[in-house]
């Protein structure tokens, strides 16, 4: 029977009521008395010398308060990068300055040049038309290999080249890997592209800056996944405001998928301008602006090779990847193609030797950073495409080749050759579950039925593993992180027994207000309705690193559990005093403290009241009150894993691919709210299928962004997708966090692209066209038809 | 500026309005009805869908003045008379048909308009009917289930569960 509350229950989401009745409070719903409006004027050229900006005519327009250019931002620092990668020769990456407004040069279409602040948004837009901006256009670099060629135009004149870093991992293994390839019985190689994507949460970014003249305090309301991180980066590195004078609020946020992790120029600008003008300043992104100013995702070009012995055991893996950084380094950009990508190249397999080379390249394009999965989809896609190609080349079953090389359940904890240690898993179990749920046994009959209609049916599988619950701070510090990756929580028990949880995690669709309350309800034994979850405001939550990398429950939830345990320990002491028993004999169950083996008991609310009305209380040994804070720093990553299966039909006449069925069998460890977990997988699958079938962020050779609206960038719509079959019944609990949870937010987007492409190749091979071994995403009708003809 | 009058969620309203003011601006900025959202600028995403005289309209694409004299319903007008959520809203919660909530008002308004003309749609008809609304969170699976439930059809009617 499903539970009706606590851990494991599909509790309906409490936040839904406000969203369904129009009462959500998103950043654009915030308007402050006296607020002015900012309109950013952006470069329409990919690369050029910014000669001059004449603002006089614009400033004379009705309603204009001030026009800002870089010259008006004296004392404002550049946008910082949160990670420094060291290259394969031991040198630090090249790190260019990223000004809030362009200084001297523009480096991508969308690079902000000036800001008009006016009484109304229309006035600001009208005045922007009057700006006289003189730019000498320069040749742009868009293609990564061309950007590294001798004599290529440089995105940053003060750097030695467009190479950010040349990373080798594990560099010491390189010779052994090359030797393994030289003696391999079989070598399989694949060249592929991981297409550039735009995250496109449905809520565009918004920032409202406010300044209190009497206190000197600044407040930024922003669409962020991590308000504390923005406070730290913007306060310390850009504006020079101490945390004590700066409040960052991220209220209801309409999706993020990574794109709202980063600190953006617009946030710094409105905070700065509000202080300068002594007025609130608001900026709301249009969707077109979002396409040219939100950090993009993916954009890798890779050659990957697999060495196998005569028995088809994987003996070595070698990759050569170019990763696009865009024109500037976004907050976590350098870490995505390295530590979140190279460390996952073992996948679910026992491959003993691995060498990953990544060249990160500056180009005249929008900066690229984490997008749902962040490095792990890129790793999984190339590996799972290659394993599939190997099976076809060797004439063996793609499922059996995977099984032969899977790490087996008795081999955990498993030290991979790429640094990480998988704590637990069972990859055969999820593969078994996938084949069962997708009715693999009936596929041949379905293929015949399609063939009778002139259609080619294919079935593709992919295994995946990801590293979530980021991350051990001391480890990431060694790897170049400039931040810790713990999480914190404060549990405030109120006098009448209700509980307010203050968490550093941030919910922007994940349903924390419901799931975190379920955990509290389970641990204390009170109704979840007595538990309030507060997040998203640096003024009332403890230091937090925010929500990304499927980390909220694994790290933020663990911090909350740790603080709850402190509360419970203290509450037991109070209960022991009230019941005249040793606190070691006190048991908390179903909201009641009992002396073990007796019928002496006191209710939760009796203890909480005593804590705040300490008349009968051990004041000599215990402070009044019941409130605890805990920081949790994980000892390892978590490793969700699974097997995905996609069934497609290809129309050989048109090249159109139709997804008929998609099945996901995941091991997320323990699950708090199955309904929400399944919803996370559905959303991830849609984004992964979108990448594989529809979405592509395209630039022309001059660096013009060709896909800058929903007219040109194909978002998955309801009629592009099937109903999904998802399962999370294969459970190997995480061994190192208190809830045994692994994280589920990104899996769908990681495992689905290779499964889909493998299915299309299977369909094409099934029709006898074994000459087609790969098609680059997205698999549009034009691309599939071209591959066939 | 001209005076534009209309009925919004059953209440008569009248405001001085610029000719270029869009209906969505009239609702959000003028009336403070912030449940209607703007997710794009090309009439593609559907986050701004409201009903004008019972017909779903992308409120980012019509001038407020063009709706003068009309009856507009927004997400704020979809609850039951006693303030509880309507059947369709309740189905979205029951089926987990929303995550971040940003597309949700438009999605509910489009689904309501679909059910008004087709009270028992098939899965394919629901997907086609919501083709003008983009959701980035749910993959549409649970939205389809919600519309099925709201139309009184068992979720077993959906092809794969």
Residues 6+ apart with CB under 8 A from B131: A717, A718, A719
Which 285-344 residues of chain A touch chain B by CB within 8 A?
286-288
- Chain B contact for A509, CB < 8 A? yes
A-chain residues near B44 (CB < 8 A): 709-711, 715
ipTM for this model: 0.97
Out of A122, A287, A682, name the one closest to residue B39 (CB). Answer: A287
Q: Test B99 with A725 for CB contact under 8 angstroms.
A: no
* The CATH number of domain A16-22+486-632 is 3.30.365.10: yes
Residue of B nearest to A255 (CA): B100
Residue A489 has pLDDT above 50, yes or no: yes
Q: How far is the C-alpha of A333 from the C-alpha of B87, rounded, in Å?
A: 45
Beta-strand runs (E) in A404-455: 414-415, 421-422
Q: How far is the C-alpha of A470 from the C-alpha of A467, rounded, in Å?
A: 7
Out of B28, B79, B140, name the one closest to residue A721 (CB). Answer: B140
**pLDDT tens column, A238-266:** 999 999 999 999 999 999 999 999 999 99
A-chain residues near B130 (CB < 8 A): 717-718
Q: Among A343, A582, A346, which residue's Cα sits nearest to residue A476?
A: A343
Look up residue A528 and give its two tokens: 């979840």
What are the Cα distances from residue A467, in Å, to A132, A340, A638, A666?
A: 49, 8, 6, 14
| Distance between A728 CA and the closest CA of chain B, angstroms | 14
DSSP string spanning B27-92?
A: IIIIT--TTS----SSS-S-TTEEEETTEEEETTSSBGGGGTT-EEE-GGG-S-TTSSPPHHHHHH
Q: Among A461, A506, A43, A443, which residue's Cα sits nearest to residue A253?
A: A506
Which 234-263 residues of chain A touch chain B by CB within 8 A?
252-255, 257
What pLDDT is stored for residue B159 in this prediction? 47
Q: How far is the C-alpha of A520 from the C-alpha of A209, rounded, in Å?
A: 35
Residue A49 has pLDDT above 90, yes or no: yes
Q: What's the average model confidence in pLDDT over A39-55? A: 98
| Distance between B100 CA and the closest CA of chain A, angstroms | 4
Q: What share of chain A is helix, strand, coil (3-state, %, to 5)?
A: 30, 25, 45
- Chain B contact for A537, CB < 8 A? no
Domain A421-469+636-789 class, CATH top level: alpha beta
What pLDDT is stored for residue B155 in this prediction? 62
Residue with tokens 């299915």: A759
Task: Compute how many other C-beta atoms are within 10 angstroms of the C-beta atom of residue B112.
Answer: 22
Task: Compute how many other C-beta atoms are within 10 angstroms of the C-beta atom of residue A496.
Answer: 10
What pLDDT is stored for residue A4 in this prediction? 72
Residue of B nearest to A685 (CA): B139
| Distance between B81 CA and the closest CA of chain A, angstroms | 13
Q: What's the mean pLDDT when you consider all of chain A?
A: 97
| SS3 labels along A125-186 | HHHHCCCEEEEEECCCCCCHHHHCCCCCCCCCCCCCCCEEEEEEECHHHHHHHHHHHHCCCE
**pLDDT tens column, B30-89:** 999 999 999 999 999 999 999 999 999 999 999 999 999 999 999 999 999 998 999 999
Look up residue A660 and give its two tokens: 């008929």
SS3 of residue A383 by DSSP: helix
**pLDDT tens column, A525-569:** 999 999 999 999 999 999 999 999 989 999 999 999 999 999 999
Residue B157 has pLDDT above 70, yes or no: no
Quote the percentage of chain A above a pLDDT of 90: 99
**CB distance A381 to A749 below 8 Å:** no
Out of A286, A679, A687, name the one closest to residue B142 (CB). Answer: A679
**CB distance A459 to A451 below 8 Å:** no
**pLDDT tens column, A583-611:** 999 999 999 999 999 999 999 999 999 99
Rg of chain B, C-alpha, whole Å: 16
| Distance between B57 CA and the closest CA of chain A, angstroms | 17
Q: Where does the pLDDT of residue A5 fall: very low under 50, low under 70, confident under 90, or very high at 90 and above?
A: confident
Q: Test A17 with B93 for CB contact under 8 angstroms.
A: yes
Residue A1 has pLDDT above 70, yes or no: no
Look up residue A651 and give its two tokens: 């129309």
DSSP string spanning A335-360?
A: GTTTTTTGGGTTTTB----EEEEEEE
DSSP string spanning A722-742?
A: --EEEE-------SSSTT-B-
Q: How far is the C-alpha of A135 from the C-alpha of A310, rounded, in Å?
A: 61
Out of B34, B137, B142, name the one closest to residue A255 (CB). Answer: B137
| Distance between B98 CA and the closest CA of chain A, angstroms | 7
Out of A12, A22, A508, name the one closest to residue B105 (CB). Answer: A22
Stated as kind and residue range, the H or E segment containing A105 is strand A105-106
Q: Where does the pLDDT of residue B158 fall: very low under 50, low under 70, confident under 90, or very high at 90 and above?
A: low
Q: Test B141 with A682 for CB contact under 8 angstroms.
A: yes
| Distance between A433 CA and the closest CA of chain B, angstroms | 15
Q: How far is the C-alpha of A471 from the C-alpha of A480, rounded, in Å?
A: 13
Q: How many residues does chain B have?
A: 161
Look up residue B42 and give its two tokens: 């090309």
Q: What's the average model confidence in pLDDT over A397-422? A: 98
A-chain residues near B105 (CB < 8 A): 19, 22
SS3 of residue B127 by DSSP: helix
Q: How far is the C-alpha of B38 from the C-alpha of A202, rounded, in Å?
A: 9
Q: Test B79 with A21 for CB contact under 8 angstroms.
A: yes
**pLDDT tens column, B105-146:** 999 999 999 999 999 999 999 999 999 999 999 999 999 999
Residue A3 has pLDDT above 90, yes or no: no
Q: How far is the C-alpha of A517 from the C-alpha of A265, rounded, in Å?
A: 35
Q: Test B89 with A20 for CB contact under 8 angstroms.
A: yes
**CB distance A716 to A687 below 8 Å:** yes
Query: Both ends of chain B: CA-CA distance in Å?
Result: 54
Which 713-742 residues of chain A touch chain B by CB within 8 A?
715-719, 721-725
What pLDDT is stored for residue B160 in this prediction? 43
> Which residues in chain A are classed under CATH 3.30.365.10?
16-22+486-632, 421-469+636-789
Interface test with B, best of A19, A205, A439 (most B CBs within 10 A): A19
Look up residue B93 and give its two tokens: 């919660």
Quote the percentage of chain A above a pLDDT of 70: 100
Out of B76, B124, B138, name the one closest to residue A679 (CB). Answer: B138
What pLDDT is stored for residue A2 in this prediction? 56
What are the Cα distances from residue A350, in Å, to A172, A315, A415, A432, A687?
A: 19, 8, 10, 19, 29
**pLDDT tens column, A629-663:** 999 999 999 999 999 999 999 999 999 999 999 99
> CA A677, A682, A687: angle at the middle one, nearest 5?
125
Q: How far is the C-alpha of A265 from the C-alpha of A515, rounded, in Å?
A: 33
- Cα-Cα-Cα-Cα dihedral sign, residues A407, A413, A419, A420: positive
**CB distance A660 to A459 below 8 Å:** no
Stated as kind and residue range, the H or E segment containing A496 is none
**pLDDT tens column, A744-761:** 999 999 999 999 999 999
- Chain B contact for A659, CB < 8 A? no
Out of A21, A508, A683, name the one closest to residue B75 (CB). Answer: A21
**CB distance A414 to A399 below 8 Å:** no
Interface test with B, best of A18, A126, A198, A202 (most B CBs within 10 A): A202
What pLDDT is stored for residue B154 in this prediction? 76
Task: Compute how many other C-beta atoms are within 10 angstroms of the C-beta atom of residue A572.
Answer: 20
- Chain B contact for A712, CB < 8 A? no
Q: Test B85 with A20 for CB contact under 8 angstroms.
A: yes
Domains and CATH numbers, chain B: 2-77 (3.10.20.30), 87-155 (1.10.150.120)
């Amino acid at each position: 029977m499903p539970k009706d509350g606590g851990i494991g229950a599909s509790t309906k989401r409490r936040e839904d009521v406000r969203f369904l009745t129009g009462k959500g409070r998103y950043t654009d719903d915030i308007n402050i008395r006296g607020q002015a409006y900012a309109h950013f004027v952006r470069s329409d050229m990919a690369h050029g010398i910014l000669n001059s900006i004449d603002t006089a005519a614009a400033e004379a327009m009705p309603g204009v308060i001030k026009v800002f250019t870089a010259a008006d931002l004296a004392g404002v620092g550049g946008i910082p990068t949160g990670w420094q990668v060291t290259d394969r020769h031991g040198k630090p990456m090249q790190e260019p300055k990223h000004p809030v407004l362009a200084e001297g040069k523009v480096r991508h279409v969308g690079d902000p040049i000036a800001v008009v602040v006016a009484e109304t948004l229309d006035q600001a837009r009208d005045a922007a038309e009057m700006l006289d901006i003189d730019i000498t256009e320069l040749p742009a670099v868009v293609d990564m290999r061309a950007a590294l060629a001798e004599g290529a135009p440089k995105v940053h004149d003060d750097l030695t080249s467009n190479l950010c870093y040349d990373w080798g991992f594990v560099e010491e293994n390189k010779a052994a890997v090359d030797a393994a390839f030289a003696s391999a019985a079989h070598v399989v190689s694949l060249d592929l592209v991981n297409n550039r994507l735009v995250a496109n949460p449905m809520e565009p970014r918004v920032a409202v800056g406010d300044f209190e003249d009497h206190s000197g305090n600044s407040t930024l309301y922003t669409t962020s996944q991590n308000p504390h991180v923005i406070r730290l980066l913007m306060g310390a590195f850009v504006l020079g405001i101490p945390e004590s004078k700066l409040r960052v609020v991220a209220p209801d946020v309409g999706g993020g998928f990574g794109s709202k992790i980063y600190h953006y120029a617009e946030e710094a600008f409105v905070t700065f301008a509000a202080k300068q003008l002594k007025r609130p300043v608001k900026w709301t992104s249009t969707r077109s602006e979002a396409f040219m100013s939100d950090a993009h995702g993916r954009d890798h070009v890779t050659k990957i090779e697999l060495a196998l012995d005569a028995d088809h055991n994987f003996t070595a893996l070698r990759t050569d990847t170019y990763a696009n950084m865009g024109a500037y380094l976004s907050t976590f950009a350098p870490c995505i193609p390295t530590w979140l990508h190279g460390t996952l190249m073992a996948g679910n397999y026992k491959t003993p030797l691995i060498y990953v080379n990544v060249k990160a390249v500056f180009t005249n394009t929008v900066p690229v950073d984490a997008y749902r999965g962040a490095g792990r989809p890129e790793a999984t896609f190339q590996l799972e495409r290659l394993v599939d190609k190997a099976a076809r080349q060797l004439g063996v079953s793609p499922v059996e080749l995977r099984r032969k090389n899977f790490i087996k359940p008795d081999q955990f904890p498993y030290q991979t050759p790429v640094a990480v240690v998988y704590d637990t898993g069972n990859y055969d179990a999820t593969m078994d579950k996938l084949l069962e749920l997708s009715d693999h046994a009936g596929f041949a009959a379905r293929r015949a039925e399609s063939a009778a209609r002139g259609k080619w049916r294919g079935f593709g599988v992919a295994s995946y593993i990801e590293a979530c619950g980021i991350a051990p701070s001391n480890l990431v510090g060694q790897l170049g992180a400039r931040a810790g990756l713990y999480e914190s929580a404060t549990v405030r028990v109120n006098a009448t027994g209700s509980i307010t949880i203050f968490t550093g995690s941030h919910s922007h669709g994940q349903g924390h207000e419901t799931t975190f309350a379920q955990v509290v309800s389970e641990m204390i034994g009170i109704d979840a309705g007595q538990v309030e979850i507060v997040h998203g405001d640096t003024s009332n939550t403890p230091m937090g690193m925010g929500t990304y990398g499927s980390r909220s429950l694994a790290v933020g939830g663990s911090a909350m559990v740790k603080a709850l345990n402190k509360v419970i320990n203290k509450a037991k002491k109070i209960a022991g005093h009230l019941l005249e028993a040793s606190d070691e004999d006190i048991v908390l169950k179903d909201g009641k403290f009992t002396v073990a083996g007796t019928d002496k008991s006191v209710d939760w609310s009796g203890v909480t009241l005593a804590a705040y009305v300490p008349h009968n209380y051990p004041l000599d040994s215990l402070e009044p009150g019941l409130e605890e804070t805990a920081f949790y720093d994980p000892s390892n990553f978590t490793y969700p894993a699974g097997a995905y299966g996609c069934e497609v039909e290809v129309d050989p006449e048109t090249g159109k691919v139709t997804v008929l069925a998609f099945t996901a069998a995941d091991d997320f460890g323990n699950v708090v709210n199955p309904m929400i977990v399944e919803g996370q997988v559905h959303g991830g699958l849609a984004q992964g299928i979108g990448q594989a079938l529809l979405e592509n962020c395209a630039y022309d050779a001059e660096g013009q962004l060709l896909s800058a609206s929903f007219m040109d960038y194909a978002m998955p719509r309801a009629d592009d997708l099937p109903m999904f079959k998802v399962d999370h019944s294969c459970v190997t609990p995480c061994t190192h966090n208190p809830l045994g949870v692994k994280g589920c937010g990104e899996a769908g987007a990681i495992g689905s692209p290779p499964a889909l492409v493998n299915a299309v190749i299977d369909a094409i091979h099934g029709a006898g066209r074994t000459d087609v071994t790969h098609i680059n995403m997205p698999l549009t009708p034009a691309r599939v038809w071209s591959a066939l003809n | 500026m001209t005076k534009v009058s209309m009925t919004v969620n059953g209440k008569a309203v009248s405001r001085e309005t610029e000719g270029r003011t869009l209906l969505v601006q009239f609702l959000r900025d003028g009336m403070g009805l912030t449940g209607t959202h703007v997710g794009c600028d090309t009439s593609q995403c559907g986050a701004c869908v409201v009903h004008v005289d019972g017909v779903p309209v992308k409120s980012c694409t019509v001038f407020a003045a063009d709706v003068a004299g009309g009856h507009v319903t927004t997400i704020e007008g979809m609850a039951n008379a006693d303030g509880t959520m309507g059947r369709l809203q309740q189905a979205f919660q029951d089926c987990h048909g929303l995550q971040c909530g940003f597309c949700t008002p438009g999605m509910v308004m489009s689904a309501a308009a679909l059910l008004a003309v087709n009270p028992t749609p098939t899965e394919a008809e629901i997907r086609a009917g919501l083709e003008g609304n983009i959701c980035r969170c749910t993959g549409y699976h649970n939205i389809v289930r919600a519309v099925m439930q709201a139309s009184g059809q068992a979720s077993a009617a959906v092809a794969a569960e």
